[in-house]
Amino acid sequence: MIKREDRDPLLQRKSVLSVKKGHKIYTQKQIPNGFYQVNRGLIGLLINDINGKERMIRLYDDGGYFGCRSFISSERYHSSSIALTDATIIHYQIHSPKELMLISPDSFYQITLALSKELGEAEHRLSKMAKKVKIRVIDTLLHLLNRYPNYRWTRREIAEFCGCEPETAIRICRSLEKSGLISSAGRQIKITDEKALQALRDI
């Protein structure tokens, strides 16, 4: 977490924002004005694919930094950020990466570490894209339901995250449910036999 001492000049440039579910914090091609951190809630990054469809590419929960890559590279945002739940976020209004290095080198280091972790996760997800779509859906279910268990994931969001069509995700989820590996009550999906689900993806 960013240092909270009163003498930290970065704290003089922060504002706390409360946003409702569905609110877009910034949009694709917008010019960055600093970076953000999640205080409470769940934030998703959306990007338009070549067919013009929005796909979810990344998630941030409590303590996560977002909007950092474009801020560090001084480029327009390549994606949009949206609140998946009601959320409280912190906006650090910094004009440039150089300014952040000067006023809070500790925070600059933490953001660099966060970006490095994101790059590793992106490479890992990219390697998964070559796998069969059923395995990708299972991987996504294991990741989303275990890491963000309190959020009610839709089949569409699962499809966006693993890079397949919603109809395909619905069909695969229905098959997994018939096999007793997952269960659903309305929108809520739960893993009922994680060991068997993991074994299925490892076949």
Mean pLDDT in consecutive groups of 10 residues from the start of the chain, 203 residues: 59 92 95 94 90 85 93 93 97 92 89 86 66 89 92 92 90 94 89 92 72
182 and 100 co-located in one domain: no
CATH classification at residue 37:
2.60.120.10
Segments forming the whole domain that contains residue 94? 9-123
Taking residue 24's Cβ as centre, other Cβ atoms within 10 Å add up to 13
Per residue in 94-115, pLDDT (tens digit) is: 989 999 999 888 888 989 888 8
Report the first-to-last Cα separation within the chain, whole angstroms: 40
Q: Cα-Cα-Cα-Cα dihedral of 56, 154, 189, 162, to 10°?
A: -30
What is the structure's pLDDT at 72?
92
CB 69 within 8 A of CB 37: no
> What's the order of all strands across the beta sheet hosting 24-26?
24-26, 80-83, 43-48, 54-60
64 and 155 co-located in one domain: no
CA-based nearest residue to 121, from 53, 187, 60, 46: 60
What is the structure's pLDDT at 144?
94
Q: Is residue 128 part of a domain?
A: no
CATH classification at residue 196:
1.10.10.10
